[in-house]
Structure 1
Amino acid sequence: KAGEGAGGENTERNLQSVILPVHNGERWLDQCLQSVLEQDFKGALELSVFNDATEIIEKWKVKLEAAGIPVIIGHNTSSQPGGVGYAKNQAVMQSSGAYLCFLDSDDVMMPQRVRLQHQAAIQHPNSIIGCRIRREPLESTERYTRWINNLSKPQLLTQAFTSHGPTVIMPTWFCSREWFYHVGKFDEGGKGVPEDLLFFYKHIEKGGDVFRVDQCLLLYRYHPQAATHSVLEETIWNHRVRFLEDRVLSCWTSFTIWNAGKQGKKLYRSLSPTNQKKVTAFCDVDEKKIAKGFYTYEESEEKPKPRIPVCHFREAAPPFVLCVKLDLTGGAFEANLAALSLKEGVDYYHFS
């Protein structure tokens, strides 16, 4: 319930808890913990670590506590790793602050992060607060980084269905403890479970909002060992389809899938039979696909097999589910979409 944690009912209203799960993060931990030490927040701060890198943490515990930042360290006593979701939940539960500032051991906070996100969280109590980021190395995941940093306020909700995942990334999350417990903790299924995405979806389902502080407050490191890489694309795809069906398609009586190619057809095949029947057409710009005139769903056991028309996007009727990747066609797709003068979140949603 709200107010749980080490502080119980006496959760300290002005204390900010930095939540840090640590697993194989030794290489970057010094920089990460230095960034906790350098926060310019004037109120009370604590660090809650759920940890498997004892020596480095113990060294920093002395330094941080000398600077007035208490450090709580928890360990997994089981021989089996509990997974990222478990570590995050444990770090939250052993902490006491009214607000939770999530951090990954391979990332670095800018000095003003806690101060600015705390200010935003007071103004937006039922929100996950994010921020802009700088990617390290700079040239990695350029499209993804542009997407994170440039979404408009409405798009923080309307683009929650894309393959990029949460519209504010997990290591930038900041929220009240009360709201965290209202949403209901991270999934503890372990390796291969996209616990951040599932929490984000639950947060939206429970009426939560998303807010981004429009300053770069985190250096977000890209490397092959990151836990994100252990989640199968197919697992994420299936969660995204269910979320789209629950949040959007359940409200529509018919719709068009924009992309008569691989991704559009895959989405169609992944839909429930009820939602498949709502697909009135595929649309595209590819003249060969349009000339063929239809897509036959060969895997269907219906007789005759469903045949869905394929037309040019200008002849198609909204609403649309867009299965075309953004920022990949030199602006051609975006220009075509803009030419239709549609409203995102009403006439179309991105699912690319």
Structure 2
Amino acid sequence: MNLATTPRLRIGFLLAPRFTLSAFATFVDVLRLAADDGDGSRPIRCRWTVLSRDMTPIQSSCGIKIQPEEPLGDPSRFDYIVTVGGLIDPATTLSPEAAAFLKRAAEARVSLAGICTGVFALARCGLMDGYRSCVSWFHHEDFLSEFEKMRPVSDQIFVVDRDRLSCSGGVSAAHLAAFLVDRHIGRAAARKALSILMIDEALTGDRPQPGLPLELTARDPLVRRALLAMQQNLHAPLSIARIARDLGVGRRKLERHFSADLGVPPADASIRIRLAQARLLLRQSSHTITRIAEETGFCDASHLIRVFREATGVTPDQWRQSEQGMTTEG
């Protein structure tokens, strides 16, 4: 195969200070395994490079540094500019030069991607306005606190919205990279890359994010996404109709899926999740019942007490005293 062959996929990487090394490495590994026959790793079908304003090594969140390969230059030489984020801290924002480079890329109609918290960097540049942004469930509240008018997608592993792509980080970076390989090089190359990385199959972007602890364990992807939406909005519960609408289905369909998978209606599942959080706060904090009611979406303390007693047979205060007694005995 001729190394002079024009690559079908060209990607430039911007690494934020204290970026997540695993997300970057996983994304790149899919590219290198798809770029060449076998495990040759030659950048033939696709090419990638790490960009920088001054070529200074960039330190990841784990301390390992990556040496950039090219200056920022003209963004139109790439099909995608991928920004990899990591720690959320004022000191980890992109440089003004990198932010300007991203804006030039957007003006040149180069697609932009945010990996892990890289979508925060794009949003800070105003480049996610009007686009859906995929954010890890772990950083859902961080995103809301910084971008009050934007509603992050935290129930999918990645999101492709026209010329903006974002993913939640971790192994989802591999699936987004495989999506791009499939789009530009072919499905066989994407499958090959994932197989070598010991990843069973390519997952679509709407696959629910794993890892968020839930009171209920669901197998149905639609039900899992609904449960995540409930947990991410504990303090201000969404109506079941709203959740169904956000998921693109009718309320009746959502109720049927809950019944088949969990044997309970969505409203009951929401109560169980909020009660589980109330128990956690009773056990691990000294918050008043009124504050716990506020944080778990109940109207007031009386409402929480009534629902809690119906579910457990005791009041929240009695439950807390019982838990404290067990801890003391232990």
- Please state which structure has a larger fraction of its residues in strand: 1
Under a length normalisation based on structure 2, what TM-score does the superposition of the two structures give?
0.31
Greater relative contact order (Cα 8 A, min sep 6): structure 1 or 2? Answer: 1
